A and B are shown apart, each in its own frame.
Chain A
C-alpha cells in the first residue's frame, strides 16, 4: 500500500477512535477539559461533584445539579432524588435558550451511566456534558462529540438492549473463571454497555477512578 494512503488511513483511524475509558488517567481535571469544561466552570464542577457525593453518602439518595458551561453559574438549587432516581424537571424550566449546560448527579452504588442517563442527555440538546459521581468517588463523563450525528431516545434504548446480553455473558464468564468477583461482574454491566455503544451514539465516554 502506498505510504500516503497508509498515513491517511492512520490519521482517519485516530480521528474515529474514541478514547472511551481512561481509568488509568490520574488527572480528573484533564478529562473534564477534554469533555469541553472550560476554566471558569472547572473548579465549580469539581466542588459541586464532591458536594453531591457527600450528600449521597449521608442519605443514600441521588442528588443532581445543572451548571452553565461557560460561566459555572449553578441553575437554581440542588435536586434531591430517591435511591435510584432524580427529577431534573424543575431545573430544565430555568434553562435559557442559546446557553450550554453541564448536568451532574450521583449514583449511590457508584455504577456508570444508566440507559436512562443516556436517553436524558440525547433528549437535552442544550446540555453538553453529563457527569455521574459515584458514592465511592468514581467520576463518569459523557459529552457530545463535536459535529457528530446525535442519536435519539429510541436509538439509545435499542442499542442498550442489543448490547446487554453479550456484555452480561462475558462478565458472567469472567466471574465464573474467577477473573472478577460476582459483585464486580454485575456492577460493571452499565460501564461495559456504555463503553460499547457511546461511539455509535455520537458521544464521548470516560471514567475516572481515584487512586485506591
Chain B
C-alpha cells in the first residue's frame, strides 16, 4: 500500500515517481506483469486522494522536464 508523503519536497517526491516509472519500464521489458491494482485496495481517505493527486502533478512536472530536455532524455531507462 502506498502512503502520502507530505514531508517530502516536490523534488524528492518527483524522484520517487521517476523511480516508480523506471521500475515499471524494467518489469515490462522483462515480460513480468505485476497487478498491483488487483491486490491493493486503498480506502478513499482524503490523505490517499491527496497522494494520488500529488503523484499526477509529479508526472506532469517530470513530463515537462523531459520535453524541455529534448528527445534524448525522453526515456526513463534505456
A116 near B27: Cβ-Cβ < 8 Å: yes
**A171: which B residues are within 8 A, CB to CB?**
44
A185 contacts B44, C-beta separation under 8 Å: yes
A187 to B43, CA, bound (A): 11
**Residues of chain A within 8 A of B72, CB atoms compared:** none
Q: How many residues of B contact A (CB 8 A)?
A: 33
Q: Chain A contacts of B34 at CB under 8 A?
A: 84-85, 114, 116
Q: Flag whether A202 is at the interface (Cβ < 8 A).
A: no
In the complex, per-residue mask of B51-63: 1 if CB is within 8 Å of any chain A CB, else 0? 0110110011001
Helix, strand, loop or mixed for chain A's interface? helix
B31 partner residues in chain A, CB cutoff 8 A: 87-89, 91-92, 120
Measured between beta carbons, the chain B residues less than 8 angstroms from A49 are none
B49 pairs with A109, CB closer than 8 A:
no
A109 to B38, CA, bound (A): 6
B44–A165 touching, CB < 8 Å: no
User: Which of B25, B38, B59, B63 meets A84, CB within 8 Å?
Assistant: B38
B32 touches A88 (CB 8 A): yes
What is the CA–CA distance of A72 and B4 in the complex, to the nearest angstrom? Answer: 46
Contact A84 B42, beta carbon cutoff 8 Å: no
Say whether, besides A185-B44, A186-B44, A85 and B35 are in contact (CB < 8 Å): yes
Q: Interface size (A, Cβ < 8 Å)? A: 44
Smallest CB–CB gap between A156 and chain B, Å? 9
Our pick among B33, B37, B60, B75 for the contact of A190 (Cβ within 8 Å) is: B37
Does A158 sit within 8 A of B, measured CB to CB? yes
* Beta-carbon contacts under 8 Å, B5-41 to A: 17, 21, 24-25, 27-39, 41
Q: How far is the CA of A205 from the CA of B55 in the complex (A)?
A: 25
Q: CA of A84 to CA of B21 in the docked complex: distance in angstroms?
A: 19
Chain A hits for B59, CB < 8 A? 157-158, 161-162
Min CB distance B29 to A, Å, is 7
CA of A91 to CA of B56 in the docked complex: distance in angstroms? 34
Contact digits for A76-92, partner B, Cβ 8 Å, 1 yes 0 no: 00000101111111011
Decide if A190 touches B52 in the complex (CB within 8 Å).
no
The answer for the CA separation of A161 and B39 in the assembled complex, in Å, is: 17
Q: List, sorted by A's number, 21 A–B pairs whose CB atoms are closer than 8 Å.
A: A62-B35, A84-B34, A84-B35, A85-B33, A85-B35, A86-B32, A87-B31, A88-B31, A111-B37, A111-B38, A114-B36, A114-B37, A114-B38, A116-B33, A119-B24, A120-B33, A123-B29, A158-B59, A164-B55, A172-B44, A172-B49
Given A117-B35, A165-B52, 15 extra CB contacts under 8 A: A83-B39, A87-B30, A87-B33, A88-B31, A92-B31, A111-B37, A154-B25, A157-B59, A162-B56, A164-B55, A165-B56, A168-B48, A172-B44, A186-B42, A190-B38
